[in-house]
Amino acid sequence: MTDGDGDAAPATTVHCHGMMTRRLALGAFAAVVLAASSRAAQPPAVPRSNFEDVGWRELRYEAHKWLLGAATTTRLELVPAASVALRTAPGNEGVPPGGSLVARLSTITDLPFGRAERAVTWFDPATGAALQYEKQLSGRKPALRDGRYTLSGVHVWRTDPAGRDQADRPPAAWTRRRDGHSSPQPPVPPGGRLVDSYTLLYLVSAARLAPGAELRLLTVSRERLVELRLAARQPVERKLHYDEARGDAVRRRDGTLSVLPVEVSARPFGDAPDGPAVDLAFMGLRGALTVYLEPATRVPVAVVGRAEKVGEVTVRLVSVTLADDPQR
């Protein structure tokens, strides 16, 4: 599980760093286009607010297939921008916070065969613009990755163990270190901002797409610019079982509920709509996927896609902690 219609709103776009090739890589987004029927991506000159704050603060998911299982917990905090220590990207201008608050999204994923992933991403909750991330993989191929988003890409610091004798030691003891700046091709359009793909569930929820609306974003996969398309379909019914908590109160959502499907797919930027798909590798799922939202709370209650060598997999919500504000 680790590794908007004809009368469109003013176009905006969002770009992302190429972390999509990693499991549970939610990589990055920038400059968003809300248009249901437009096919052309029109990068804006200036980014604007595209998202409303989501009504959830913690999501817990599980996936089971045959004898294998995985679990992911995602936590969201809004913190003062002044409290976030942003790194300096050598030779490049880092993306600054867009307001007084920064969203901090932490994801903890436990995978089969002793593998695990820990990630923290900081981004602008109003525009989705990514600021910085820290990601650590443990198990078969341990690694540590830190990234600082810039106006043209992302500067990445890589730390790995130099041999098997270091693999079981903490990252501070690893001696294989390197860093460099990565810029997508074609370049990020003027005014575009990258956002980290680990924030995909936040973006799907916060965009508040109505049935028939689309959200188009630009992301990066393996150094290439990719158009990411979120398309909201008509509500359907699904059987769901999860706990919903707000403060000290907990209620069980159990049974058949009406949910909003949002289809997520990606293709190289500039290609025809029927061109080759790009593999998102989100939550360990390959290719296109569907996120199901509970309409009232906009909580992502399930993610459905295909996993390599396993086939179709449903990542199910086990529990959600809602924001304290009852209006959300």
Name which residue leads in pLDDT, 173 or 123.
Answer: 123
pLDDT in the model for residue 246: 93
Classify residue 172 by its DSSP letter. Answer: G
Q: pLDDT confidence of 184, banded at 50, 70, 90? A: confident
Cα of 5 vs its chain's centroid, Å = 24
Least reliable range by pLDDT among 103-117, 121-135, 151-165: 103-117
Q: Which of 251, 238, 240 is nearest to 321 (CA)?
A: 251
pLDDT in the model for residue 34: 30
What token pair was written down for 92?
């490049």
Q: What is the pTM of this model?
A: 0.81
**How many Cα atoms sit within 13 Å of 106 on the Cβ side?**
7
**How many Cα atoms sit within 13 Å of 61 on the Cβ side?**
27
Give SS3 for 204: helix
Name which residue leads in pLDDT, 69 or 206.
Answer: 206
Cβ atoms of residues 293 and 301 within 8 Å? yes
Name which residue leads in pLDDT, 271 or 328.
Answer: 271
Cβ atoms of residues 168 and 152 within 8 Å? no
Residue 51: other Cβ atoms inside 10 A: 21
pLDDT one-digit tens code per residue, 209-230: 999 999 887 777 778 777 778 8
Classify residue 282 by its DSSP letter. Answer: B
Region label for 91, one of left (φ > 0), alpha (ψ between -120 and 50) or beta (otherwise): left
pLDDT in the model for residue 1: 43
Domains of the chain by residue range: 30-322
pLDDT one-digit tens code per residue, 287-319: 788 999 999 899 999 999 887 767 788 999 999
Beta strands in the chain (DSSP E): 30-34, 56-65, 68-80, 101-110, 116-123, 130-138, 143-149, 154-160, 176-182, 214-221, 224-232, 236-246, 249-268, 286-294, 299-307, 311-322
pLDDT one-digit tens code per residue, 189-200: 888 787 787 888
pLDDT one-digit tens code per residue, 256-283: 999 999 998 888 877 666 667 777 767 7
Length of the chain: 328
Q: pLDDT confidence of 37, banded at 50, 70, 90? A: very low
In degrees, to the nearest 5, what angle opens at C-alpha 239 toward C-alphas 313 and 317?
Answer: 55
